A and B are shown apart, each in its own frame.
Chain A
Amino acid sequence: MARATVEEHPQKSGYALLVAVTIGIVFLLFVAFLNTVKPAPGAPPAPFFTESNLLYVALILYAGASALYIGFGVTGLDRYVKTASLLTLLGFLANTVAGAHRWYSAGHPPFASVYEMLLSFVWTVALLTLIAERKYKVQVIGSVTMPLAVVGVVLMQLLPNEVRPLVPALQSTWLHIHVTLAMLAYAACALSFALATMFLIQDNMKTETFQAATSAMVSAIYIAILATRFTGAGGLSLIAWDFQNKEEVFLQRGVRLFVTVPDLGWLFAIVTLAVFAPLVFYAWGRVKHDESKYLLASRGVFLSIALQVLALAFFVLRARGGFYHSADADGTFQTSLAASPFILAGLVSGIFASLLYLMMVWRRRDLERLLPTADALDRITYKTIGIAFPLLTLMIAAGAYWANRTWGSYWSWDPKETWAAITWLVYAAYLHMRVTRGMRGRVAAYFAIGGFAVVMFTFFGVTYLLPGLHAYA
C-alpha cells in the first residue's frame, strides 16, 4: 500500500489529528459515564451496560474512526488507518454487546422494527469494513463505510426503540435465517458497489461523469419523494403519528392517514431543481463539447449540498413539531420522523453521496495513490459478488421456505419477492457477462453498480412505493 510521501510535508507527522480524536473520544466517553453514574436525585444509579449507552459508546468510537479514515484518505499516513481500525473494532464490540442485549431483552433477534434493522445494519457495516481491511487490504473503504455507520447510529437515536412483541407470523427460526442472510447479502452487494466505484476512480473515469452519476442519484431520490408526496398547494404529505401508541395513524386496516405539511413541498421542489441542474449542465457540456459547463455543474453541486442540508433541517424541524391538517380526516394531527424513515434516509443518503463526491473531487490524486490498481479492484469486485450471489440465493430460498410454512405458498409473485428475484437475475447476468463473455472492467463495474441500485430498490423502493405483504420491513 503506497504511503503518502512524507518528505513533501516534513512537518506533518499526523499526531495532531490523532491527539484531537483521542481527546474527543475520551471526553465524550467520560461525559457518557458521568450521565449514568450521577442520576437524578432520589433515583437509584442506572446500570452502565444498557443498550443505549453501549450504542452511544459505539457512536463515539465510529465517529472517531470515521475522522481518522478520512484523514487517512487525505494524507495516507499509516498510523491513522491503524488507529481507525482499532476504533472500528472497539465500536464493533460495543455494537455487538448492544445487539445481544437487545436480543436478550426482546426475546427475538433484532430484526422486527426499523430501529432494530438499523442496529443490525450498522453492525454488519462495521464487520464488513474490518473484513475488507484484513482480507482484501482495501483500507480506504473505512472512509466510506464508517461515516455511513455513524449516520445509521444517529438515525437510530431519532427512532422509537420500544421492544415490540412479534405477531405469530414473525415468530419463526426460518424468518431469522432469512433476514440474517438478507443483511449479509445486501451488505456484500453494498461492498461490491463501493469496490466498483473505486474501480471507476482507478480506471480514469472522468470526474464530471462521477458528478453526473451523483446528481442523477440524488435527483432520483428527490423526484421519488415529490412524485409520491407533493400535494397540490405546495405541501408535502407525511404519515401521521400517534404518540400515545407510538405508531402510525391508520384510517382503517392497511390505510394510513396522511397529513399535509404546508410549503415543504415547494422547498423540496426548489431543492430538486438545484440537484438536477448540475446534470443539465453536464449534458450541455457533453453535447456541445464545452468543458466550462462542467465547471458550472461542479459549482452547482456545492449549491445543491447547501440546499439539501436546508431541506433536511426544515424537514426535521417540521416533522418534530406542529399540528397539521389532513385531507382525509377532520382535526389536526402530529407527525414524527419515525413516520417517515424512508424520506429521512433518502435525504441523508443524498447529502452523504454528494459529500463523498466532493471528497473524491478534492483528493482524487491521493485516492488514486492509495487504492489498489484497477485490475485488482475488478477482481476483488468479482470475488465479493461471488460471496453476495450465493447469499442472495440462500436468502430467497429461506424466505420461500418460511413463506411456505406460514402461508402455504413458497412463491406468490409478491412485489418484494419478485424484486428479490430481479436482483438475483441482475447479478446472475453480471456473472454470465464476466465469466463467459469475458467482459471485465468498465462494463462489469456498471453491472455491479446497477445491481446495487436494484438492491436499494428492492429494500427501500418496494416498501415505500409498492405496498404488499412485506410492508413491515
Chain B
Amino acid sequence: MPTRNPLSRVLRTLSSIKTGVILLILVVIASAIGTVVLQRPTTEADQIERTYSPSALYWLDKLGLTDVFHAWWFVVLLVLVATSIVLVSIDRFPRAWKVLTNPYKVTDSHFRAVLPMQDKIPVADEDAALSLAERAFQKVHLKAERVGPGKEASLYAERNRFSVLAVYIIHASLLLIFLGGIVDALVGYKGFLMLVKGQTLSQVELSTKKVKELPFAIRFDDGGRENYADGSPKKWWSDLTVIEDGKEVMKKQIVVNDPLVYRGVRFYQSTFGDSRKIDSLTLLAILKADPKVRKEVTLRGNAATAIDDDATVQITNFIPDYVIRDGQIYARSNDPVNPAIQLKIESKKAGTTGTWLLPEDPQNSNAGPTPWAFAYKSGELAPFTGLSVSHEPGQWGVWGGVLLMAVGLTMAFYCVHRRYWAVVVNDPKLGTVLWIGMQADKNREHYADEFKEIAGHIRNELQIQSAVGTTEEKSLAHA
C-alpha cells in the first residue's frame, strides 16, 4: 500500500511528465528574460545604469534578473529539471528492463484476442504451417525462433529490442551534459594572458578579476600576422613554448581556432598587435667628425650594438607618439605615429653620451655632443599576443553526453522495436488456423503493410500447395 506521506507525494509529482513539461516551460521563460534584460557579466555597468531607471534596476538586481543564468533560483530550476529526469527514468526503467531481459515469446489466448495487428490463416498441417511461417518471416529478413514445448510449439521473431533503451540513453546523456557543465562551473576557469615577444608569464587574469598562478609558464617566442588586400585580418600566429620546472616541455605554433593545450589548460590565439617595445631598429650611423664614414647598425631590443671598435649604441627609451612641452618630451598616445627613440652611445674615446632620434623630425634629431649622428632606416615594433586561457575539465562530460545523445536520438527515431508471433491454434469458427501477430512501437502504418505482405506470402504458399495437392490427387485418380 503506497504511503501517502508528503515525501512520496512530492516524488510522484516530480516524476510526472506534466511536471517535466512545466519545468521546461519555466526554463524557457527564464532564459528568454535573460536575453532581453541586460545581463551584468557581459554588459558594462554604466550602460546598464543608462538603460534602466534606478528603481527599476534595484528590483531587477534584487530578483536576479540582471544575472539570470547565475541566479540561485535558475540553478534550483535546473536542479529540479535534472531531478525530474532522474525520477522519471527510475520510475519507468524497470518496465523497459523487463522488456529487454524477459521478452514475451509465448502468447496466451487473451493476448491473441486483443492484439490489433493479427491474422488467422486456415491450415491443414500444423508442422508445415509453422515452417511456412518461418519462411515467410525470412522473406522480410526476420529470423524466427521456435519456442514452447513440443506440441505447443510457436514462433517468435524480434528486431531492435535494444531500442527500448533509447529514451533512457537520451535522458542519461542530458544528465551527463549537466554534470560536465557543473564541473566546469565549480572547477573550471577562463582568463586572459598578454605576452610581448620574448616575455614569459605564468599568471593569468581570470574573468572573475582574480589572478591565477599556473604551475607552468608560457613564453612568446615569435609571431606574425597576414592581412587581406583591404587590410582586414586574415591570419594571426604565435610561436609559444611551455616551461615547467625550468625546462622547455612543449612548443607549438598556434593560430585562431587551433589552440595550445597543456595539462588540460588551453591557450587560444585571441588578439594580436604591436606592443610599445621595439623589436628591431636599423639605423645609419654617421660620424660627425667625418660625414663620409657611415655604418649601418641594427639594434635589437635593449642590447648594445657595436658601431665600430670604439663605440656602441643602444636604445634606452622609446616613446611611440611624443610631444614637446616646456622643453620636455612627453608621451601623447600609444599609436606609433610620431616616435622618439632615446639612444645611449658609449665611446671609449668620447665617453657616454645620449641623444634623441626623431624619425619624423630629422632636423631636431641627434642633439647633444655625441660622436655619431643617426638616421632612421627601418624598424619594427615587437608584437604582443593576446591569449585566451581556459581550463574546462567538464567539457569531456559535455562532448561525451552529446555523442551519447546522438546515439540515443538515432535509436529513438530510426530503430523500430518489432515483435512477431506465429502459432497454430484451434479457432471456434475457422477450425485449425495459423495465428500470426505483430507489434511495432513506431511507424505502424509502414509495418502494417509489411505484415500484410507476410500474410500474403503464407496464403500464396498455401494456395500453391493445395493446388499441387489437388493436381496430385487428380493425377492419382486418373492413374
Contact = CB atoms under 8 A, between A and B. Distances in A.
Interface residues of A, number: 42
Interface stretch (A132-140, A351-359, A427-435): A427-435
A425 B24 contact: yes
Contacts of A389: 409, 413
Contact of A411 (B36, B181, B236): B181
B21 A432 contact: yes
Nearest to A417: B35
A406 B34 contact: no
B409 A169 contact: no
Contacts, number: 101
Interface string B179-217: 001000000001000000000000000000000000000
A357 B379 CA distance: 69
Given A415-B35, A432-B21, A422 B409 contact: no
Contacts of A229: none
A172 B21 contact: no
Interface in A128-186: 165, 167-169, 171-172, 174
A397 B402 contact: yes
A171 B409 contact: no
Contact of B406 (A379, A393, A421): A393
A408 B31 contact: no
Nearest to B225: A168
A369 B28 CA distance: 39
Nearest to A428: B24
A386 interface: yes
Q: Chain B, interface size: which category? A: 35 or more
A282 B69 CA distance: 40
A432 B28 CA distance: 15
B408 to A, nearest CB: 10
A171 B234 CA distance: 9
B228 A422 contact: no
A418 B42 CA distance: 14
A154 to B, nearest CB: 29
B395 A404 contact: yes
Interface hub of B35, B256, B395, B413 (most chain A Cβ within 10 A):
B35
A72 to B, nearest CB: 26
B399 A401 contact: yes
A413 B256 CA distance: 22
- Which label, helix, strand, loop or mixed, suits the secondary structure of the A interface? helix
A400 B398 contact: yes
Given A165-B234, A413-B69, A422 B268 contact: no
Contact of B232 (A165, A174, A412): A165
Contact of B190 (A172, A386, A397, A408): A408
A394 interface: yes
A4 interface: no
Interface in B1-51: 17-18, 20-21, 24-25, 27-28, 31-32, 34-36, 39, 42
B64 interface: no
A436 B388 contact: no
A429 B28 CA distance: 11
A401 B181 CA distance: 14
B24 A169 contact: no
A169 B257 contact: yes
Contact of A409 (B27, B236, B269, B390): B390
Given A165-B232, A397-B402, A400-B398, A408 B35 contact: no
B259 interface: yes
Contacts of A394: 406
Interface string A306-347: 000000000000000000000000000000000000000000
B228 A168 contact: no
Contact of B35 (A172, A426, A433, A462): A462
Given A379-B445, A393-B406, A400-B398, A422 B21 contact: no
A393 B390 contact: no
B346 interface: no
Nearest to B234: A165
Nearest to A396: B402
Contact of A408 (B27, B268, B398, B410): B268
Q: Which 6 A-B pairs have the closest CB atoms?
A: A408-B390, A168-B256, A415-B35, A397-B402, A165-B228, A413-B69
Interface of A: 165, 167-169, 171-172, 174, 379, 386-387, 389-390, 393-394, 397, 400-401, 404-413, 415, 418-419, 421-422, 425-426, 428-429, 432-433, 436-437, 462, 466
16 contacts: A165-B228, A168-B256, A171-B256, A390-B410, A393-B406, A394-B406, A397-B406, A401-B399, A404-B392, A407-B388, A408-B390, A408-B392, A409-B390, A418-B34, A421-B31, A462-B35
Given A168-B233, A407-B268, A429-B21, 4 more contacts: A169-B257, A387-B413, A390-B413, A433-B21
